Chains A and B, each alone.
Chain A
Amino acid sequence: MSWLNRFSNLFRRDKVDEELDEELQYHLEARTRHNLNGGMDADAAQQDARRRFGNAALAKERAHEMNIVLWMETIGRDVRYALRSLRKSPGFTAVAMLTLALGFGANTAVFTVVNGVLLRPLPFPEPGRLLLISYQSKQGTIENEPGLYDKDYLEYQRQSEAFDKIATFNEDSANLTGSGEAARVPTALVTSSFFSVLQVNPAVGRTFLPEEERPGKNRVAVLSDKMWRSRFDADPNILGKGITLDGASYNVIGVMPANFAYPHEAALWLPLNVGGDPHNTFTRAVIGRLRPSASQQQAQAELAAIAKHLPPGPGAGRGSMVAEVLPMRDLQVGKIRKALLIFMGAVGFVLLIACANVANLLLMRGTSRQREIAVRNALGASRWRVIRQLLTESTLLSLGGSVLGIVLAIAGVPILLALAPAAGVPRLEEIHVDGYVLAFALALGVLVGVLFGLVPALRATGHRVRAFLGLGGPTATAGRQRLPSALVVSEIAMALVLLTGAGLMIKSFILIRAVDPGFRTENILAMTVDLPDASYPTATAIQAFHAGILAKLSNLPGVVAAGAVNWMPLQPALVQGDFNMDGGRKRPRGFIVAKPAASPDYFRVMGIRFLKGRGFTEQDNSSAPGVIIVSQSVARTLWPGEDPIGKRITMEDEPKPKDWLAVVGVVDDVRQQSLTEQPLPAIYQPYEQVTRPFFLSHMSFVIRTAEKPQSVAAAMRGALHSVDANQPVLIAPLTDLADATNAETWFQTRLISTFSILALFLSAIGIYGVLAYAVTERTREIGIRMALGAKKSDVTFMLLKRTLLLVMAGVAIGGSGALVLTRVLGKFLFEVKPTDPATFLSVAAVLGFTGMIAGLLPAQRATRVDPVAALRSE
């Protein structure tokens, strides 16, 4: 019975039982018949048979135990033997195990992240019924997170039948003052339905009532457990106490349980008043809990039907709007899923390469063990018995590798996460090696051990007669080299795919670094201030504050110039919107612009180039006629072939005469969101002419410094606090912000590069191993050749030719594979095609070069073969 068979017997006791019954029954009947033939009557014959047989149940039970106990015993014996045999060749064991440990370690580490991010269910009751509702434009430069415009949310809430309840929310932050130092804390604005959609109850107190969404009643807050403990010393009488957020007082009405911090890392929740702002593109995440009777498909159909009657948002026609119902997890993992799956694929390749190496090692070991195997055969072990023994060995090896890999992963996961861009990985704190990860690693270990041990085991046991007769000497046979060669070729092919991926990522990263964003990042320090409505209710108050800071900043020692802008490049905050043109001209369909409000010196600080006209001056204040500066693309789009200076637009639908704004200058386009995204058209207004507090309360101050920008940071903080000590300080050099927008690409590039270097290294070892073994096997042939006058260079050439063939075959196969597979990288590449020929060529060259080096070492050794010794060794 095979191992597998016996294993399945454990679970199929019925079948074994039946057979055993049949066997025992047969015995009893045979004895009875025997007795009848001997002249007994029927009853006596049966009784005698039963008496002679003894306790049938006991016999059956014992026979059963034998099956199981012996099964365990044989495993024990196999394992002991395998351990002894592995111990006898420590070099082989160490190399094989370490190779596998690298493969398993990389896989386990990446799987740990996949498990934490993609597989683990959200920590809410019945997470499967929680869905995201989204209806918005998928075109344009911004790829929005799934969500709805407020007006669509209200409409959908009215009409939807598929959902029990829906809720909308957005992440925000607020200045928390009083009770310790002023701090910027992450908050979430949520509708009163938010907590009941998630089905999470507060640990203390209550959550929001529907009427608390409305202004006048909305000064209430729910704290996170962490906030309650860290900031308020877990005050048991916290309910009803006041806290100061953005200068306004809020009553604490509840504290959430310890593990609840959704969305993201929210420290407190505030009620959200859902209103509509039809001019600007602004969507919020919308979640809903499906009714038990409804399915996701029904919800999707319902949303599509309702969406048909919703007017499209600004800047989009209905054709470009997409109605989607998605699993709630997608809100956070939408972006990271694809990257993780690519990493999973990459480490899968690394593991396969490691396995191919180990399979090759096992093949060679099998050849050198033919004598041992032949002896075992001669002593009566069947072929299957020996195969089972060899499989036990390879599985033990593989399990050893997987245990080492788990250790590597435990050490590697924190490093991996530390390198990852902080915003890129949701639920970071939940990512660790857990039971699922261990199960994954060990299962993978067994699978690899059996799969990659099987062919070597079949091979090793296939030669017994020859070996036993002493015929299986180290004579070269092409056939025996075919399988190792095939394995090496596939290793090279897989390494090439990975290297190509890495090459494309590196090239695109270099290109990103070379991008001209339209502004300079060196020697600029940026400070962002969010002024609370409560302390700065009017545009005048806000502008007074800004003017005060700007004056102080310009006079700091070491500061060349100081400016201010509300939507600074490379920062997440941005409002885009529409506008109307003078003289009955129509704004091109779908054309929306960023609307930064800037101080006069802003352009000089940022180094944004003027192409035409003038900049803003101190005279462009609230009493002067309205002026704007447009970016080049705006000028080109609105007034092609005309001089834009003097042309007029308005931000209002029903403009009064003073609402018309005249173009006074044209500036270069600026990459607003990140270095990799196309510049957005922008219409700049002088910040003193902007009157809506919404456009002013968020302001970034930028200073150009003569020296290292960090040297001025302390003085900048002092300037802020001398005007308002209650503002939290957020200061960063612009170079850091630029790096932060590249962080994800940098991380992916580094990770893929690490994996592909690992792959390159492993396949070089593979090439070396096969060639070295070939040299050992062909020592005699090489000796004869040299005895017959072959030169050392001929021998080297002969072996290098083989390497070259292997590498070329691998590169050809890998190249075609890469052409198909690197397409998945498309979204992650910047201005590089997934089929970039230069990358393909250089990667092939790197791999070819490495391969030849790996092959050169054994070839060198072959030339040192002493012909006489080689021939005598037979």
Chain B
Amino acid sequence: MRTHTNDRLKGTLDLLVLKTLASQGRMHGYAITLRIEQISENVLRLEEGSLYPALHRMTQAGWLSSEWGASDSNRRARYYSITAAGRRQLSEETKEWSQLTGAVARVLSMT
């Protein structure tokens, strides 16, 4: 199976990040990358640089909050966590996503 490219992922990147942070709590950018790869069993591989504009965008939108903290290797890293608005966004996007996938699945199962 090919790994999906960024373009295909663009709409879902927010959803993935929100979901990751919702379940894992505070994380820095690299940890988010790893987590998404790990959970999706390396199917969803990000072009890692593209994660950061998304993180900043979502921070501005008020879905995420960020702060600087010390990483496990004792370096300074920016940590992100999800806000109440972010959780609300997540639930909406999750709903939309399942509606979409549900619809697509129904179409595909039509034979």
| Interface, chain A (partner B; CB < 8 A) | 1, 6, 19-20, 22-24, 26-27, 29-31, 33-34, 52-56, 58-60, 62-67, 70-71, 74, 379-382, 385
Kindly state whether residue B8 has any CB partner on chain A within 8 Å: no
Instruction: Provide the B21-62 mask, 1 if CB < 8 A to any CB of A, else 0.
Output: 000000011100110000000000101111011011101111
Kindly state whether residue B76 has any CB partner on chain A within 8 Å: yes
A8 to chain B, nearest CB (A): 15
Kindly state whether residue B109 has any CB partner on chain A within 8 Å: no
B9 to chain A, nearest CB (A): 13
Q: Is the CB of B28 within 8 A of A26?
A: yes
Kindly state whether residue B83 has any CB partner on chain A within 8 Å: yes
Interface SS of A by simple majority: helix
Residues of chain A within 8 A (CB-CB) of B77 are: 23, 26
Q: Is the CB of A24 within 8 A of B49?
A: yes
Q: Is the CB of B49 within 8 A of A71?
A: no
Of all A-B residue pairs in the complex, the 8 with the closest CB atoms, nearest first, are A59-B49, A380-B84, A380-B85, A70-B60, A62-B53, A54-B47, A54-B49, A66-B57
A70 to chain B, nearest CB (A): 4
Give the complex CA separation of A64 and B86 in angstroms. 21
Give the complex CA separation of A831 and B64 in angstroms. 70
Pick from B50, B52, B57, B88: contact of A23, CB under 8 Å: B52
Given contacts A29-B75, A58-B49, A380-B85, 5 further A-B contacts (CB under 8 A): A22-B78, A26-B75, A63-B56, A66-B56, A70-B60
Residues of chain B within 8 A (CB-CB) of A52 are: 45, 47-48
Pick from B49, B60, B76, B88: contact of A26, CB under 8 Å: B76
B6 to chain A, nearest CB (A): 8
Give the complex CA separation of A620 and B26 in angstroms. 111
Residues of chain A within 8 A (CB-CB) of B28 are: 26
Q: Is the CB of B78 within 8 A of A23?
A: yes
Kindly state whether residue B12 has any CB partner on chain A within 8 Å: no
Residues of chain A within 8 A (CB-CB) of B78 are: 19, 22-23, 26
Q: Is the CB of B53 within 8 A of A66?
A: yes
Complex: chain B residue closest to A26, CB-CB = B77
How many chain-B residues does the 8 Å CB contact rule pick out?
32
Q: Is the CB of A71 within 8 A of B52?
A: no
B96 to chain A, nearest CB (A): 18
Instruction: Report which residue of B29, B60, B73, B85 has the largest number of chain A beta carbons within 10 angstroms of its beta carbon.
Output: B60
Given contact pairs A27-B29, A30-B30, A53 touches B49 in the complex (Cβ within 8 A) = yes
Pick from A30, A31, A62, A382: contact of B62, CB under 8 Å: A382
Give the complex CA separation of A372 and B33 in angstroms. 39
Q: Is the CB of A66 within 8 A of B60?
A: yes
Q: Is the CB of B85 within 8 A of A27?
A: no
Complex: chain B residue closest to A27, CB-CB = B30
Give the complex CA separation of A24 and B87 in angstroms. 26
Q: Is the CB of B48 within 8 A of A380?
A: no
Q: List 26 A-B contacts (CB under 8 A).
A: A22-B78, A24-B52, A26-B28, A26-B29, A27-B33, A27-B48, A30-B71, A31-B48, A52-B45, A53-B48, A54-B49, A59-B52, A60-B52, A62-B52, A62-B53, A63-B52, A63-B53, A63-B55, A64-B56, A65-B53, A66-B57, A70-B61, A379-B88, A380-B83, A380-B84, A381-B85
Complex: chain A residue closest to B68, CB-CB = A19
Pick from A53, A59, A65, A382: contact of B83, CB under 8 Å: A382
Complex: chain B residue closest to A60, CB-CB = B52
Q: Is the CB of B30 within 8 A of A53?
A: no
Q: Is the CB of B75 within 8 A of A56?
A: no
Give the complex CA separation of A70 and B64 in angstroms. 14
Q: Is the CB of A31 within 8 A of B88?
A: no
Residues of chain A within 8 A (CB-CB) of B88 are: 379-380
Complex: chain B residue closest to A68, CB-CB = B60
Instruction: Report which residue of B30, B57, B87 has the largest number of chain A beta carbons within 10 angstroms of its beta carbon.
Output: B30
Give the complex CA separation of A22 and B34 in angstroms. 19
Residues of chain A within 8 A (CB-CB) of B55 are: 63
Given contact pairs A31-B48, A52-B47, A385-B62, A26 touches B71 in the complex (Cβ within 8 A) = yes
Residues of chain A within 8 A (CB-CB) of B73 are: 30, 33
A484 to chain B, nearest CB (A): 32
Give the complex CA separation of A60 and B29 in angstroms. 14
Instruction: Report which residue of B52, B68, B75, B86 has the largest number of chain A beta carbons within 10 angstroms of its beta carbon.
Output: B52
